[in-house]
Amino acid sequence: MNTIKHFENFFLYIVTSKLMPEGFLKTDDGESVDSLEKITAIYNNTNKVCVWTGASDDTIYSSPDFNHVFRAWHDYHHIKHQFPFTEEGERLTMLEQVKDIEALCLPDDVTDYYIKLLNFEVMGQVEYHKEKGYFPDNQLQFFNEYMRG
């Protein structure tokens, strides 16, 4: 089984059955969801996470929709724990996602690989942004380089 596809199925399960059974919202207006305060306000008004749909091509996922599901899972923890959009806030948010992975009691090698993918998806891109001042245009290429390294 394709490991990325397996990872997609995992977080789709987490999001749909555990964290957001009522689903989540999408917007193409990136400015409306560009801060913790804004996504928290939307959540408080709708009881749903709202994610930006932009920059969803050339990702590691099989479709933009899976990228949106990942964003919803990630932003859910930003909102729930009020972790800011900072390097430390991203790290703490990722650690909450790691807890979701560990809660499923998967085999160690699968858990370890999922955590490595998660670390790439969150902290790898934070480091890239810190170094270059922007996020990778082609996440798939960045992923292939990151996972080799």
What domain range includes position 138?
3-143
Give per-residue pLDDT as tens, 73-109: 999 999 999 999 999 999 999 999 999 888 877 778 8
Confidence of residue 3 (pLDDT cuts 50, 70, 90): low
Compute φ and ψ for 57, nearest 5 degrees.
Answer: -95, 160
Please indicate whether residue 38 or residue 145 has the higher confidence score (pLDDT): 38
pTM, full prediction: 0.86
Q: Tell me what the pLDDT averaged over the chain comes to.
A: 87
What is the pLDDT at residue 57? 79
- Residue 58 CA to residue 53 CA, distance in Å, equals 13
CA distances from 44 to 31, 65, 76, 79, 107 (A): 18, 24, 12, 10, 37
Provide the domain count of the chain. Answer: 1
Name residue 36's amino acid: L
Q: Is residue 149 part of a domain?
A: no
Does residue 148 sit within a domain? Answer: no
- Which of 9, 3, 42, 11 has its CA nearest to residue 26? 42
Residue 62 in any domain: the answer is yes
Orientation of helix 108-119 relative to helix 87-103, angle to 10°: 160
In degrees, rounded to 5, the angle at the alpha carbon of residue 111 between the alpha carbons of residues 110 and 116 is: 95
